Structure 1
Amino acid sequence: MAPSSGRRQPPSAEDLDERNIVGINKETITNTVSTDYPDNYANEEHAWDKEAFRQSFKVQWHDNKQHDAQFSLIGIDASIANAFRRILISEIPTLAIDIVYIHNNTSVIQDEVLAHRLGLIPFTGSKKGIRDFLRSWRKPVDGEGFYATTFDSNTICLKLHAKCTHNKDAPPNSKDPKELYHNAHVYAKDLTFEPMGVQEKHFSGDGVIRPFNPDILIAKMRPNQEIDLEIHMHKGYGWDHAKWSPVATASYRLMPTITITKPIIGAEAEKFADCFMEGVIGLEPVTRKEARAKGSGYEGHEGEMKAVVKDPMRDTVSREVLRHPEFEGKVKLGRRRDHFIFSIESTGQWDSDELFLESVKTLKKKCEVLRPQVTNMVYTY
């Protein structure tokens, strides 16, 4: 929209807040297009300003467990929030099984399926060793030997050797394969780390390379079946394969808004609360002050239960409340377009809060690469 030459009053706080809400209606969604850029509103300046961003931007942590975190980024555009999500999924390096050398596999699982199962096992180890010591592995080109690019600085070696045999000491009436046989089940904990070169210096003690969950089932075997493997792990990125993604999930959603525009009292209040997830809507008694205030809508209802918004972040915006005619015109649903609630579940190699900090560092590096190119482009033209 082009700027108007006429003067107009600056927008009120209510107008600014309304612009920032995505409207959730019964069958439609409104106000979805971003408007915070220059010349969108007449006689209003919306050029990006670093100091204004510094004052409005906030980070709020809701839950910060070692491998599961939830936090809010407030005051950013959807493009930036989505950049963090994409970086978390595909641009933070991790260690994963890449090549499997199968010396012997007489189990019922085919070689390629077995290799695929191994590749998806998440591993952990010394973060400093993985971050600073290990380098990316390069696939040999034509004419190079297969091990020409394999060194202790870019390859972790694991071995797995398990053979199923009868247990002579098993109880006579037992039907449990774990009691009847040795190595009936092969688990991730059966993978053994084989240090090469100076790797023991970087991966030892609590920092040894190991499966994050040792009880992941790899295969089931019966007597005379055997699995004998040598495995090479490499450092990689999620953009190459999902096995290198450091997160099980990395997602965000917009902060829900629930505005009660008219009083909802008594049995209607209870029904109103049932339309939302537990904990979103609360019931409180109408106070004497509210009951005596003219035009409040609570006149003569002192002591009765009224519906109030308790915790909108719990809401899933199911729109169930909009199906009931008795609530028509009494509630407005929406989502704040600049409030992103992130959920990060780490696969174990990184702590969940570390992953977010790494995503910030990665985005900063991208900006440092882009900045001189944009500067040169401006000076060129």
Structure 2
Amino acid sequence: MGKDKGKGKLPEHLELRRDFVTCGDRLNFNVNTITSANTFNAMGVDNSWDFAAFKDSFQIVINKMDREVMEFDMIGCDPAIANALRRILIAEVPTVAIEHVFMINNTSIIQDEVLSHRLGLVPLLVPPHLLEPKLAEEAPGEKNTVVFKLDVTCRRKPDGSLENDKVLTSQLEWLPGGSELPEETTCRFAAGQAHLFTASAADAAAASTSAAFAAAAAPPSPLGSTSGPYPRPRAVHGDILLAKLRPGQTLQLEAHATKGTGKEHAKWSPVATAWYRLQPVVALLKEVRADSEEGKVLLETCPGLFSADEATGLLRAGNARGHEMVLERLRRLLEQERFSSCVAYRKRKDHFIFTIESSGVLHPAELLAQALDILADKANNLRDKL
């Protein structure tokens, strides 16, 4: 991958082996990345990594972005870098999630442990940079803990309908002054948190909408640069069902949220998923007439991917990226030698189509910015220790 820095040039078959994965009918070939500097020394080609060449070839192209999903192309880097970014997004970008649940009264059918686990997995809209990580030996306080309470009782109304028969995340109430059970929870706030979250519920909704459009139009801001006021702490989605109650049943509890990362527990992971795939490329290995038997089958089986040149009558391969739904059909055709001898299905080793699906706690652009900062810190730390 990258430009050859030596005087020689690699034969075409070695260029393809170095730069592309070849997709067969059952197996993929040439999947390894050739990183050794002296691999092609006998041919006069220097395969060592060059920072200047990397800067010239590396690109990030954003394809789409909204409040929940971001897709971008990352071009000109090693698979190890792409995978490191993916793992950081999943496991090392911090968020805030419910860690401790103090059950006061639970007469519902759902067990305390199950309810506590469900609460822990609820994404919370709390800016993580406002809190410090809570160490095991530290007492909970306003610097490291956000406190919620849930107090719901199901009742039958005079008209026979039920009130609070469904317990939703919107019923979690933030306690700016801290725990109402300081003796049992050892959580005591000295100053409270009301000054950190001053936006009203209406302002919070408006700020959330405007921030999403602003983030889509502007580059992501570094961690901690976003200015307040911040929306009141709440669940990202208020319609998540926590439990169902019958008349007379009660749920009364206090939940303490702390800062953490996904490598400690999945509830702190800021993404629903973060994944990438390689850029697909379809190439014709020889001339194929559109009116031949092979040409007709390819045109019929993979519509849009192949087209006929009106001037020459030959088959042309289009952009595989725009026709990914038919690529598996092409792979099935490659089981036959008559097709595998004239069509190649490949994937570029240094071109990654990256997708970030946020859980809603942070905008995907902010997640990418934080992940890149963490990756840079890791690189600097390694450099300092060499």
**One fold, TM greater than 0.5?**
yes
Matched, 1:259 2:271: no
5+ long unaligned stretches in structure 2: 1-5, 178-190, 205-230
Quick check: 1:256–1:313 contact (8 Å CA) kept in 2? no
Counterpart position of 1:33: 32
Residue correspondence of structure 1 range 1-381 to structure 2 within 5 A: 9-11=8-10, 15-42=14-41, 43-125=44-126, 127=127, 130-131=128-129, 133-140=130-137, 149-170=139-160, 180-196=161-177, 197-205=191-199, 206=204, 207-261=231-285, 262-263=287-288, 265-266=290-291, 269=295, 271-273=297-299, 275-276=301-302, 281-284=305-308, 286-288=309-311, 290-291=312-313, 298=314, 306=315, 308-312=317-321, 314-315=323-324, 317-318=327-328, 319-324=331-336, 326-374=338-386
Q: 2-side partners of 1:184 and 1:67: how far apart?
A: 30
* Structure 1 residue ranges, 4+ long, deviating more than 4 angstroms after superposition: 12-15, 266-270, 273-276
2:194 is paired with a residue whose SS is helix
Compute the TM-score of the two structures, normalised by the length of structure 1.
0.81
| Structure of higher CA gyration radius | 1
Deviation at 1:346, TM superposition (A): 0.3
Q: 2-side partners of 1:153 and 1:360: how far apart?
A: 26
Q: Which amino acid aligns with 1:352?
A: P
Per-residue deviation, residues 329-381 of structure 1 (Å, max 9, x unmatched): 1210111111111111001111112111111100111112111211xxxxxxx
Quick check: 2:155–2:247 contact (8 Å CA) kept in 1? yes
Q: 1-side partners of 2:13 and 2:339: how far apart?
A: 23
Compute the TM-score of the two structures, normalised by the length of structure 2.
0.80
Quick check: 2:156–2:163 contact (8 Å CA) kept in 1? yes
Quick check: 2:262–2:268 contact (8 Å CA) kept in 1? yes
Per-residue deviation, residues 98-118 of structure 1 (Å, max 9, x unmatched): 000000001000000000111
Over 3 Å counting, the alpha-carbon distance change for 1:13 and 1:330 in structure 2 is closer
Per-residue deviation, residues 249-297 of structure 1 (Å, max 9, x unmatched): 0011111111123325257556425545x75x1535x323x25xxxxxx
Over 3 Å counting, the alpha-carbon distance change for 1:353 and 1:314 in structure 2 is farther
Over 3 Å counting, the alpha-carbon distance change for 1:164 and 1:8 in structure 2 is closer
Q: 2-side partners of 1:269 and 1:100: how far apart?
A: 65
Count residues with an aligned counterpart.
Answer: 331
2:365 is paired with a residue whose SS is helix
Per-residue deviation, residues 138-161 of structure 1 (Å, max 9, x unmatched): 223xxxxxxx61110100000101
Per-residue deviation, residues 24-46 of structure 1 (Å, max 9, x unmatched): 12233221222132111122212
Deviation at 1:315, TM superposition (A): 2.2
Q: 1-side partners of 2:108 and 2:266: how far apart?
A: 26
Q: 1-side partners of 2:365 and 2:279: how far apart?
A: 20
1:224 is paired with a residue whose SS is coil
Q: Which amino acid aligns with 1:32?
A: V
Deviation at 1:237, TM superposition (A): 0.4
1:62 is paired with a residue whose SS is strand
Per-residue deviation, residues 277-324 of structure 1 (Å, max 9, x unmatched): x75x1535x323x25xxxxxx4xxxxxxx4532343542653122135
5+ long unaligned stretches in structure 1: 1-6, 141-147, 171-179, 292-297, 299-305, 375-381
Q: Which amino acid aligns with 2:163?
A: H
Over 3 Å counting, the alpha-carbon distance change for 1:33 and 1:239 in structure 2 is same
Q: Which amino acid aligns with 1:349?
A: V
1:138 is paired with a residue whose SS is coil
Q: 2-side partners of 1:325 and 1:46: how far apart?
A: 34
Quick check: 1:270–1:307 contact (8 Å CA) kept in 2? no
Over 3 Å counting, the alpha-carbon distance change for 1:325 and 1:39 in structure 2 is closer
Q: Which amino acid aligns with 2:49?
A: W
Q: 1-side partners of 2:299 and 2:175: how far apart?
A: 58
Q: 1-side partners of 2:50 and 2:7: how far apart?
A: 23
Quick check: 2:280–2:320 contact (8 Å CA) kept in 1? no
Identity %: 33
Quick check: 1:95–1:244 contact (8 Å CA) kept in 2? yes
Q: 2-side partners of 1:33 and 1:345: how far apart?
A: 28
1:334 is paired with a residue whose SS is strand
Q: 2-side partners of 1:110 and 1:155: how far apart?
A: 25
Quick check: 1:269–1:283 contact (8 Å CA) kept in 2? no
Quick check: 1:258–1:312 contact (8 Å CA) kept in 2? no
Deviates more, 1:220-229 or 1:253-262: 253-262
